[in-house]
Amino acid sequence: MNTKTLSRTISVCVENGKKLLEDAKYLFGWDRYSTALALSVLAQEEFAKAFLLQLVMEEALPWLPEVRRSMAKHQCKHLLAIVMEWLPPFDFDLLAEQQRRSTEKHEKKMAWYKRSMDRYRAGNLRPDPNDPDPIEEEFHLPADVATALNIYRFEELEKLKSGYAWRDADWAKGKARKVADGALDRKKQSALYVDVTETGEVGLHPGLITRAEAHEAIQRAERLSYPLISYSDEYRKLKEILPLVFSSLKEVEGKT
């Protein structure tokens, strides 16, 4: 995949998301809360699409047909948005802190290596139990983020590939489950259309969208619009995990 092509597409997606967000804020100021919410969710989807393409460009995600087709599924983009919310946005103070931690880890590792070599030269070939190798702490994804990634990979992409999805009992609850079951997309639809019940009565409709809901949607879209720190600990770990999660999909693809 051509990096320049992807980079250009990412920029267009982000720019369109920002325009949708600007329109949402404008309409919010005119008390058009339902339309503001709908546009905010559309903006979130554009930012999530750009995020997916960024991961593809960095070779953390494979550019397979199922991944490409997932960009057209609202729930897939909503699941990726959960991952985006966890990743730290670009911030100079945060950048400086990240660099400080990285330098500290490196210096600690090099100091331990020097002590180990000194012991070796002194004829002490056994590891010192009081001076263990300073390995990194075990890393765990937040529950919602892990569930969002599992649902995206093993439910959504599998449905796109074969029509069947694997569901795990551990993914049955929480924010990611609601998003995967279409909660956010239904909210967006209800902000645009009047639902008519079987008895001909008015069901969900734009008038039910509150100011608070629209404001929350705008804030979330604004958060997703911020550039992410691609060298943060979180982003680095995500890029390590994704190839492992998607390796089986690539293997299956290679056999078909």
Helices 74-86 and 211-225, packing angle to 10 deg: 70
**Structural domain contains residue 181:** yes
Q: Is residue 124 a part of any domain in this protein?
A: no
Q: What is the pLDDT of residue 256?
A: 45
Tell me how many domains the chain contains: 1
Structural tokens at position 4:
């320049």
> Is residue 113, in this structure, part of any structural domain at all?
no
Compute φ and ψ for 202, nearest 5 degrees.
Answer: -75, 130
175: pLDDT strictly greater than 80: yes
Mean pLDDT of 208-237: 91
Cα-based distances in Å from 148 to 69, 78, 187, 227: 17, 9, 19, 21
* φ, ψ for residue 123, nearest 5 deg: 95, 0
Task: Judge whether 173 lies within some domain.
Answer: yes
Nearest to 44 by CA among 191, 219, 203, 248: 219
> Does residue 90 have a pLDDT over 70?
no
52: containing domain: 3-87+142-255
Please answer whether residues 24 and 209 qualify as being in contact, where contact means their C-beta atoms are separated by less than 8 angstroms.
no
210 CB-near residues (< 8 Å, 6+ apart): 33
Hunting for tokens 């990096």 — which residue is that?
3
Contact 74, 185 (CB under 8 A): yes
Mean pLDDT score, 157-166: 87
Domain membership of residue 105 (yes or no) is: no
Return all residues near 120 (Cβ < 8 A) that are at least 6 apart. none
The amino acid occupying position 149 is L
Residue 152 lies in a domain: yes
| Token pair recorded at residue 237 | 């770990």
Interatomic CA distance for residues 52 and 77, integer angstroms: 8
pLDDT at 1: 66
Domain-located, residue 239: yes
Percentage, residues of the chain above pLDDT 90: 62
The CA dihedral of 104, 230, 48, 78, to the nearest 10 degrees, is: -20
Distance CA 51, CA 72 (A): 14
- Contact, 192 vs 52, CB < 8 A? no
Nearest Cα residue to 37 out of 27, 45, 46, 47: 27
pLDDT band at 24, cuts 50/70/90?
very high
Structural domain includes residue 30: yes
pLDDT at 120: 74
